[in-house]
Amino acid sequence: MGDIADSLINGEFDSLTGEYIGKPCGYPRSIHRNGPKPVNYKSEVYMLIFKKGNPCNISHIQISLIVERYAHEELKLQQNVKETTVYKHIVWNKERFKAWYLATYPQYNIL
């Protein structure tokens, strides 16, 4: 019983069905995906900002600074908040971000 449990934990066997998958990778895994695809919040925000392409040539660094400013000024989040958390807040309330973005950066009016 211990060997099977170790094989499941190491990822050699499927964690849902117990089928052999292949070489162990060090973490439990499955070849069967029944749930929804994971959301990449950062790319969702980029698509929100770059809806009509990138005519203003905004770099990824500028976007991260815009997102950081939104987190501190509009959302009133702490300084040490994770970037992923801010992206989640933006995706959950897109309209609020759009309104703030258009008011704060009218020169980048590309939404």
State pLDDT tens for residues 22-74. Answer: 888 888 888 876 666 777 888 888 888 877 777 778 888 998 999 999 999 99
**Residue in 25, 61, 24, 33 with CA at minimum distance from that of residue 46:** 61
Report the alpha-carbon distance of residue 11 to residue 49 in Å, rounded: 39
Sign of the alpha-carbon torsion through 65, 66, 67, 71: positive
Report the alpha-carbon distance of residue 24 to residue 55 in Å, rounded: 46
**Residue 71: its pLDDT value, please?**
94
Which residue has better confidence, 81 or 36?
A: 81
Q: Is 90 exposed, middle or buried, given 0-12, 13-18 or 19+ CB atoms closer than 10 A?
A: buried
Taking residue 85's Cβ as centre, other Cβ atoms within 10 Å add up to 14
